[in-house]
Amino acid sequence: MASLLRIALQKSGRLSEDSYQLFKECGIRFDYGTGKLKSVSSNFPAEFLFLRDDDIPGYVEDGVADLGIVGENVAVETGRPVQTVHKLGFSKCRLSIAIPRGVDWAGIQDLQGKNIATSYPNLLGTYLAGEGVQAEIHEISGSVEIAPSIGLAEAVCDIVSSGSTLLSNGLKEVETIFRSEAILIARPALDADKQALVDKLLFRIKSVQAAKNNKYIVLNAPNDALDQITALLPGMKSPTVTPLATEGWSSVHSVLNENEFWENIEAIRAAGAEGILVIPIEKMIY
């Protein structure tokens, strides 16, 4: 029987939508939602399993799934021997220590002998050990941010993105101990057939990511400024230059990293470029 790649995704939570979207953009179709626990793709040899995120590294280690998408925070916390295949760039967040807003903070040594509530005892323990701080770590599985107000702990260590949850619980962020984003993890030592499928998937993921970071640029340039303008638009090989119907002008097409575009835009305009269009790219194959 031909190989079927088994891929574990978070059923519903902060990783789910972007994970589903990523496969959609890779042209891999499958059904999800309405309480489904698994689903076979209709156009790629893959079966998707929908799970709690905490369970995904374990299932990947045990070989129940070949691949999974989790936050790096969860991958490191669970300590399972899985390999990180690729960073995915979404679900970015940080793991931070926070204390009540009215309490002074001089540095991490302030936590010496204190109680800290967290769902990440391993990450926090490693960090504190590295700083030479001895503290009591209380592992709780959710609603960590209320621990100080109910007298359970003097500090918390929790996931932060905007900081609004901390703020509404009267806490302030004092130290970031870990930065995380979604990653694709794999079972080590996949057989050759499955590895070939992983490579195929990874090729698509990289094409989708490259397209997101780049824009297709079209502009009109006076011919005497072409050298100057094309130097600012390197493109995948070099820009395409075609004459316009108007004498003395050309149309220039190129692909540019979006950040580079914003950095060069003033120089491009100052050189005489007009009618500049910035167009999204759907896929980008190197």
**Where on the chain is the footprint of ligand ATP (CB under 6 A)?**
10, 13-15, 52-54, 71, 73-74, 91-93, 159, 161, 180
54 binding Mg ion? (CB under 5 A): yes
77 binding Mg ion? (CB under 5 A): no
260 binding Mg ion? (CB under 5 A): no
Q: From Mg ion, ligand ATP, none, which one binds at residue 180 (CB under 5 to 8 Å depending on kind)?
A: ligand ATP
CB of 55 to ligand ATP, least distance (A): 8
Three-state secondary-structure class, residue 201: helix
CB of 69 to ligand ATP, least distance (A): 10
- In angstroms, the CA 165 to CA 172 distance is 10
Nearest by Cα to 127 from 111, 142, 143: 111
- In angstroms, the CA 36 to CA 234 distance is 47
Nearest by Cα to 111 from 74, 145, 148: 148
CB of 162 to ligand ATP, least distance (A): 7
Only segment of 15-23, 51-59, 189-197, 216-224 that touches Mg ion (CB under 5 A):
51-59
Name residues whose C-beta falls within 8 Å of residue 24's C-beta, 6 or more positions apart in sequence.
none
CB of 119 to ligand ATP, least distance (A): 8
Burial of 162 (0-12, 13-18, 19+ CB in 10 A): exposed
CB of 230 to Mg ion, least distance (A): 50
Which two tokens mark 195?
A: 């590895």
Size of the site for Mg ion (CB under 5 A): 2
Q: From ligand ATP, Mg ion, none, which one binds at residue 18 (CB under 5 to 8 Å depending on kind)?
A: none
- In angstroms, the CA 92 to CA 156 distance is 20
Burial of 43 (0-12, 13-18, 19+ CB in 10 A): exposed
Q: Within 131-190, which residues bind Mg ion (CB under 5 A)? A: none
Cβ proximity to ligand ATP: between 68 and 148 the closer is 68
- In angstroms, the CA 88 to CA 19 distance is 9
53 binding Mg ion? (CB under 5 A): yes
In the block, which residue shows the tokens 């679900």?
A: 91
Q: From ligand ATP, Mg ion, none, which one binds at residue 211 (CB under 5 to 8 Å depending on kind)?
A: none
Binding stretches for Mg ion (CB under 5 A): 53-54
